[in-house]
Chain A
Amino acid sequence: MEKLINDLKVQLIEALNLEEITPEEIDAEAPLFGDGLGLDSIDALEIILILEKQYGLRIENPAEAKPIFYSVRTLAEYIEKNRK
């Protein structure tokens, strides 16, 4: 799980152009959207792409993504549970 969390942080930094932020600086429990990293709807679509491309997981309805995308940890838990 900790490895997955770290991988996700690296992938988020790369895909969302979070320059000047290191994986250590991202709190796995903190909300991804709103304050914190200041992500928006375009970032959410990019996270959907990460799940599709890196983990083969498809989120069909963007509305169901909200609890999954809460934090890096909730993302990791979703991947762990659904990955084949």
Chain B
Amino acid sequence: MGSGVSNIAYVGATNVISSVGFTTEECFNALERYVSGIVPVDDPLLYEHPFLAAQVDWQRLSAMAQAAGLDCYTGTERMMILSIKDVLEQSGISLASKDAAVIFSSTKGNVDLLSQSVEVLDEGAYLWKMAQRVAGYFNAFNKPEVISNACISGVSATVIASRLVREGVYRHVVVVGADILTRFVVSGFSAFKSVSSRPCTPYDANRDGLTLGEGCATILITSDKKLSCGVAVEGGAITNDANHISGPSRTGDGLCYAIQQAMEENDLTSEDISFINAHGTATPFNDEMESKAIALVGLSAVPVNSLKPYFGHTLGASGLIETVMCVEMLKHGVVIGTKGFAELGVPEPIVVSGVHQPISNMVRCVKTASGFGGCNGAVVLALEGHSKAIKVKENGGTAQHIGSCQIADGKVVVDGSVVFEAGGDFAEFIRGAFKHLEAPNMKFYKMDNLCKLGYLAAEYLLKDKKYASLDLGIILANRSSSLDTDINHQRILNEHSEAGASPAVFVYTLPNVVLGEICIRHKIQGENTFFINEDRSDSFLESYARMVLERSQYKAVIYGWCELLGNDYQAELVIIEKK
């Protein structure tokens, strides 16, 4: 990684499988005609009452899967394989090649497998296993990476893929993201009282919640100009609100920083941005927060839209589906209207329209996402003629190891010395280790076990260290994602039906919420990303953490492993600083 000019991360072929179509073209045509995928769904396997959702045509998908010989794969996997296949066929590249990699983005993957039985865990419920099966279909040479960062997963994966391509780690990175409608997810969002009884209307004065959706998207990010579709990824950033694990920031500062950092990569100003495709879920607080962030970052005059009225909220796929649509909007010179929008109902004046707006001098857009765990992501896309090669910024020195904390087998080890030891099960041990710190926090007892483990490891690691909010990033990985709490939520559904679903349980069914808890406690607002790996010997995490530190303004980055399933637990956090 020398200084100079990096590769350009071009957007190559794309595919979207959604409620409005099975290719990028079909989907964009639907949007141009104001066709929404939101329909009434009456399926007791998904929810006890009829509800509105943007549902994929599973009959069509099954027929395509059958024709392709995909009967042995789950619904989510079939969707991913068909989507990747389309992109590989369009671009003529192979994942079996050494210079190509695949990154997965999903919040819940095959979580529907849990509904069969929570007693015997189907291996397919592990996100890394799902990724291996899909990558295996294409004989992928490189181990697939999996990102599970709540509703920003798709944007996170795009940001990370473009960094890997720019740094020359890979020539091609195929990014795929999918999430499907399940009883697990529908009941959880219903318990959160965030689902609207009408099709969602982002930013509108009468909005009262989101509409769920499902789908999949694939994007090829490549340094090969011949494969470019005419658009490049110019920058991207991931930040945290450090405010609340499910409630959006009241100031919008986290999202503001993400947009700011993404734009700074290429020294862009507000005049350089043609439009913003925001997250726009249509929950009162999310849209309110976005308007504040857009005002804070100085983009109030730039047109804003949300595509949730067409695709619904497709969770881990949303960032990717909407990024693909941004590419199309750039190429077609039009900002798709936020269907259903009539009257602005957010505190800061932003430019939203219910109808399509042609833009004569289209150049560049910002795509954003925000999610549980307080995470925010932003990516900048530019038409090729306008995009500049990004200057590699040297931000001072190489990474140096300055501390570590391990928690396993009833011991807390800080910088190689045992600082606490106790017997008993996890609950007993972690309570003792928490009290030993003498740093009381009522919120600790509300956390699920994965969060207690990560929170405590960070607490010991950062005990005598102090960083400014934007000087520290945190990148963690584990094997079981949030399965420990997923099983708990599914068990409640199986035993008490949807009415028993607990918001305090459901909120922890995302692994990156542990990052949220740590960020809130230590006011960390830098990058926060959660990877899923089969085992912890994976070297990608460390090299990625070093890349983030060396290429950013951060003073330090925490990276490591935070795994818990039942009574098996292991945390191993390391902090590196710029020398």
Contact = CB atoms under 8 A, between A and B. Distances in A.
A62 interface: yes
Main secondary structure of the interface of A (DSSP, over half): helix
B504 interface: yes
Contacts of B192: 45
Interface string A48-59: 110011000000
A58 B243 CA distance: 29
Contacts of B504: 15-17, 42-43, 45-46
Given A19-B445, A38-B443, A62 B244 contact: no
B193 A18 contact: no
Interface string B178-205: 0000000000000111000000000000
B502 interface: yes
Nearest to B443: A38
B442 A45 contact: no
Contact of A40 (B191, B193, B244, B500): B244
B193 A45 contact: yes
Q: Which of B247, B442, B445, B499 has the most CB of A within 10 A?
A: B442
Contact of A42 (B442, B445, B500, B503): B503
A17 B446 contact: yes
B390 to A, nearest CB: 40
Nearest to A21: B442
A30 to B, nearest CB: 15
Interface in B281-326: none
B507 interface: yes
Contacts of B244: 40-41
Contact of A62 (B191, B193, B442, B443): B193
Please give me the 5 A-B residue pairs with the lowest Cβ-Cβ distance, nearest first: A19-B445, A45-B503, A17-B446, A17-B445, A38-B442
Contacts of B191: 45, 49
Nearest to A40: B244
A37 B446 CA distance: 12
A20 interface: yes
Contact of A49 (B445, B446, B502): B502
Contacts of B445: 17-20
A41 B285 CA distance: 12
B246 interface: yes
Contacts of A15: 504
Given A46-B502, A46-B504, A41 B446 contact: no
A20 B445 CA distance: 9
Interface string A12-39: 0001111110000000000000000110
Interface footprint category on B: 10 to 19
Nearest to A19: B445
Given A16-B446, A20-B445, 8 more contacts: A15-B504, A19-B445, A38-B442, A40-B244, A42-B503, A45-B193, A45-B504, A62-B193
Contacts of B443: 38
A37 B442 contact: yes
Interface of B: 191-193, 244-247, 442-443, 445-446, 499-500, 502-504, 507
Nearest to B191: A45
Nearest to A63: B284
28 contacts: A15-B504, A16-B446, A18-B445, A19-B445, A20-B445, A37-B442, A38-B442, A38-B443, A40-B244, A41-B246, A41-B247, A42-B245, A42-B246, A42-B446, A42-B503, A42-B504, A42-B507, A43-B504, A45-B192, A45-B193, A45-B503, A46-B502, A46-B503, A46-B504, A49-B191, A53-B499, A53-B500, A62-B193
B443 to A, nearest CB: 7
A15 B502 CA distance: 9
B502 A40 contact: no
Contacts of B507: 42
A42 B443 CA distance: 12
A43 B443 CA distance: 11
Contacts of B503: 42, 45-46, 49
A18 B504 CA distance: 13
Contacts of B502: 46, 49
A50 to B, nearest CB: 11
A46 B445 CA distance: 15
Nearest to B496: A53
Contacts of B247: 40-41
A37 B245 CA distance: 18
B264 to A, nearest CB: 33
Nearest to B247: A41
Given A40-B244, A46-B504, A52 B442 contact: no
B246 A52 contact: no
Contacts of A20: 445
Contacts of A48: 193
A48 B500 CA distance: 11
Contacts of A49: 191, 502-503
Q: Which of A20, A45, A52 has the most CB of B within 10 A?
A: A45
